[in-house]
Amino acid sequence: MENSEKTELVLLACGSFNPITNMHLRLFELAKDYMNGTGKYKVIKGIISPVGDAYKKKGLISAHHRVIMAELATKNSKWVEVDTWESLQKEWTETAKVLRHHQEKLEASICDLQQNSPVLQKPGRKRKWAEQKQDFSEKKSLEQTKTKGVPKVKLLCGADFLESFGVPNLWKSEDITKILGDYGLICITRAGNDAQKFIYESDVLWKHQNNIHLVNEWITNDISSTKIRRALRRGQSIRYLVPDLVQEYIEKHNLYSSESEERNVGVVLAPLQRNTTEVKA
Amino acid sequence: MILPLEHLLVIEDSRVAEAARVDVSDRMKSRIPVVLLACGSFNPITNMHLRLFEVARDHLHQTGRYQVIGGIISPVNDNYGKKDLVPARHRVAMARLALQTSDWIRVDSWESEQAQWMETIKVLRHHHSELLRSLPRMEDPDQGSASSPTSAAVPELKLLCGADILKTFQTPNLWKDTHIQEIVEKFGLVCVTRAGHDPKGYVLDSPILHRYQDKIHLAREPVQNEISATYVRWALSRGQSVKYLLPDAVISYIREHDLYLRDASPERNEGLPTQGGPTSSFPTTSS
């Protein structure tokens, strides 16, 4: 398939990034290789969106630091960047809203581009119905456009994310539908069979299975942020598990300790709080 | 990393942290200095190789008995004859790049520069004598003007390896029994756990290892990270990204010198799926 027919993709990863690790960064690389490899997509950007402090997860240190660490980690990346919109919101923001924010942002910038460039059409050319329908989002000029329409945002995640859909009150069912239906998931998993089974056993996942791309991670890569924080508390080295700049930043600012791990203990996680409150109401 | 005082007051893990990191001069004097030597193909060097050193160092410090003062990476000689082995000059150069940011590990090309492949025991003996030669000399009153290194300061050279290497001691004819004995008795082993291996079991199963089990340190990698160089070579030959698996400088070197471009045949990559590549995934998802 030529470049002109490929759908441009932006990969969005939401999460605590507490701290960001080499494993998080690998997710982007694996997803990009996979989606580009299908021949149907062209991955143009990766976005890391650290969650806001209002999420109230245990051990979550301030967004300020988490954003800086993510920026240090992506300093040497040509295509992955950090976005602070979500972290700057005063209240916790559902993932579906973050996806929508980024999709709208993309559409707005495409519109700006199109308004500035002339759209030429052959006079008298009979336009097919399909073309007319697509005209709104795909104004093709006679000059070759590189790809098909507005880039699409897809949510990049690990298998634990997929399984979290099953946790009661963590997700609103309409949000799950939006995420899967309007956007789509790229899920990096070590145990592909478990993920497939999980999809099979869930009606909503099953319905949208074509929008869930499972990508296998062949390397047993267990660099979880939880383990990083534990290693730091025990005075153990985290070198080569996180980018050097991140390791230096953590050390310089003494970010993780037994005290920081006690943050938000006893506090209800924001989505649980919100979803149970609304149910009661 | 020296922890600030307030961390020492926290009960949880404090004793461990103290033993590992706090610079208490009394402790330092009685600790045995150790240099870790890792032999291998390093084809190419990965973040996991580098982790072995960090994990081993943490483990030895935690025992309270050792102070790791250096690390050596010794890439194997080209004549080892392993398939897909790129020339030693590249493997040494890549290791050097990987270690640019390390303040205690270095690469040594002596083994790779020898005319032929040599057993690990010879590499250990070589580096041990080099270590002795580089020590500050002390006057020995009993021997007049002749000098010798103080026994308290003589560093121990230990072989650093993954648990998979420990298992290879069992492979018939791969190692000489006398060598295995000398390795564990005279030098000592630091063995970092890997998934699917039972290093304690290997030690108990082998009479030689069992006898010298106190000279075999089994270090547990708390954060499992199995970056096999085989996988990396496979990914490179397929044009897939290996970023964050190896240091960026090593990746640049590989690209500049067009290394690992040839797609290795499936037989050479045991354990990896033969239907690999970016487009293969799971039948139920769209492609």
Residue A124 inside a domain? The answer is no
- Residue B282 in contact with partner chain A when CB distance is under 8 A: yes
Burial of B144 (0-12, 13-18, 19+ CB in 10 A): exposed
Give pLDDT, residue A38: 96
Please list, residue by residue across A196-223, b when 16 or more beta carbons sit within 10 angstroms of its beta carbon and e when fewer do: bebbeebeebeebbebbbbbbbbbebbb
Residue A118 inside a domain? The answer is no
- Residue A274 in contact with partner chain B when CB distance is under 8 A: no
Residue A217 inside a domain? The answer is yes
In 3D space, the residue among B127, B118, B100, B114 whose CA is nearest the CA of residue B35 turns out to be B127
A221 → closest Cβ in B101, B225, B285: B225
Give pLDDT, residue B250: 97
With a CB-CB cutoff of 8 Å, which residues 18-47 of chain B face chain A?
20-21, 47
Residue A224 inside a domain? The answer is yes
- Amino acid in the structure at residue B12: E
Per-residue pLDDT 10s for chain B (287 aa) are: 554 444 444 444 444 444 445 445 555 568 999 999 999 999 999 999 999 999 999 999 999 999 999 999 999 999 998 888 999 999 999 999 999 999 999 999 999 999 999 999 999 999 999 999 988 766 555 655 455 555 557 899 999 998 888 888 888 888 999 999 999 999 999 999 877 778 888 898 888 999 999 999 999 888 887 888 999 999 999 999 999 999 999 999 999 999 999 755 444 444 444 333 333 233 333 33
The single-letter DSSP state of residue A14 is: E
Cβ atoms of residues A242 and A21 within 8 Å? yes
Give pLDDT, residue B171: 87
pLDDT tens, residue by residue, B258-273: 999 975 544 444 444 4
Give pLDDT, residue B144: 52
Q: Kindly determine whether residue B231 and residue A219, on different chains, have CB atoms separated by under 8 Å.
A: yes
Distance from CA of B254 to the nearest CA of A (A): 17
The token pair that represents B22 in the structure block: 């706090």
Number of domains in chain A: 1
Give pLDDT, residue B243: 95
B226 → closest Cβ in A26, A219, A224: A219
Q: Which residue matches tokens 């004859």? A: B81
* Residue B205: CB atoms within 10 Å: 13
Complex confidence, ipTM: 0.82
Q: Kindly determine whether residue B241 and residue A224, on different chains, have CB atoms separated by under 8 Å.
A: no
Query: Which residues form the domain of A77?
Result: 7-112+150-271
Chain A contact set for B52 (CB, 8 A): none
Q: In what order do the strands lie in the sheet with A41-50?
A: A80-82, A41-50, A7-15, A152-158, A185-189, A212-216
Residues B212, B202: Cα–Cα separation, whole Å: 13
Give pLDDT, residue B6: 43
Residues B208, B180: Cα–Cα separation, whole Å: 8
Burial of B186 (0-12, 13-18, 19+ CB in 10 A): middle
pLDDT tens, residue by residue, B196-226: 778 888 898 888 999 999 999 999 888 887 8
With a CB-CB cutoff of 8 Å, which residues 174-193 of chain B face chain A?
none
Give pLDDT, residue B225: 76
The token pair that represents A147 in the structure block: 């790809």
Give pLDDT, residue A176: 94
Specify the CATH number for the domain of residue A238. Answer: 3.40.50.620
Residue A1 inside a domain? The answer is no
Distance from CA of A216 to the nearest CA of B (A): 7
Interface test with chain A among B244, B274, B282, by most A beta carbons within 10 Å:
B244
State the pairing for strand pair B225-226/A220-221.
antiparallel
Give pLDDT, residue A190: 83
Q: Kindly determine whether residue A237 and residue B57, on different chains, have CB atoms separated by under 8 Å.
A: yes
Residue A141 inside a domain? The answer is no
Residues B162, B219: Cα–Cα separation, whole Å: 9
With a CB-CB cutoff of 8 Å, which residues 250-279 of chain B face chain A?
272-273, 277-279
Residue A200 inside a domain? The answer is yes
Residue A19 inside a domain? The answer is yes
Peptide bond into A19 cis (omega under 30): yes
Run means of pLDDT, 10 residues per run, chain A, 281 residues: 84 97 96 97 98 95 97 96 97 96 93 67 52 51 54 93 88 93 94 86 92 90 90 94 96 94 93 81 57
First to last CA, chain A: 52
